[in-house]
């Protein structure tokens, strides 16, 4: 008897995850309301998109691609060079929520993912406010 699908499988696997990450960065790059987080990234977002895709694959219970390529993520340490407060956290979460809606992620599953993303994003904060 098969167990519950992983979040990676429930999302739709690699292709759906790639579409979600691509949409997330398209929104960040194009929507003025996300400028505060866009400016924290390099001009070319391809590397950032690839790293988020690799990380989320393993984080969602799929293949641990980020670890295979780069080792442990050490997310907080990797984000310390960037000033991340409540506003940046909330913009990241809003951008991801919009990407999930745009990609047709089922509402209940999107809410569960948003909760998990919120906990991780809050952990990335390295300044008050």
Q: How far is CA 6 from CA 52, 57, 59, 61, in A?
A: 18, 11, 10, 5
Mind listing the pLDDT tens digit of every residue in the chain (129 residues)? 468 999 999 999 999 999 999 999 999 999 999 999 999 999 999 999 999 999 999 999 999 999 999 999 999 999 999 999 999 999 999 999 999 999 999 999 999 999 999 999 999 999 887
* Helix and strand totals (H; E) in the chain: 8, 0
**Considering only CA atoms, which of 115, 122, 116, 111 is closest in space to residue 87?**
122
> 11-124: which CATH architecture?
Orthogonal Bundle (1.10)
Do residues 95 and 53 lie in contact, with contact meaning Cβ atoms separated by under 8 Å? Answer: no
Report domain extents, the chain.
Answer: 11-124
Element (H, E) at 102: helix 86-102
At 123, list the tokens. Answer: 């952990």
Which residues lie closer than 8 Å to 125 by C-beta, 6 or more apart?
A: 84, 85, 86, 88, 89
Do residues 86 and 129 lie in contact, with contact meaning Cβ atoms separated by under 8 Å? Answer: yes
pTM for the structure as a whole: 0.94
């Amino acid at each position: 008897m098969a167990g519950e699908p992983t979040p990676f499988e429930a999302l739709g696997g690699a292709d759906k995850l790639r579409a979600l990450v691509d949409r997330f960065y398209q929104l960040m790059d194009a929507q003025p309301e996300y400028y505060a987080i866009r400016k924290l990234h390099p001009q070319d977002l391809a590397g950032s998109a690839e790293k988020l895709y690799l990380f989320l694959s393993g984080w969602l219970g799929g293949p641990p691609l980020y670890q295979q390529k780069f080792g442990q993520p050490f997310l907080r340490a990797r984000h310390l060079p960037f000033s991340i407060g409540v506003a940046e956290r909330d913009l990241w979460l809003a951008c991801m929520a919009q990407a999930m809606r745009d990609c047709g992620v089922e509402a209940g599953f999107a809410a569960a993912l948003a909760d998990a993303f919120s906990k991780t994003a809050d952990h990335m904060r390295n300044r008050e406010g």
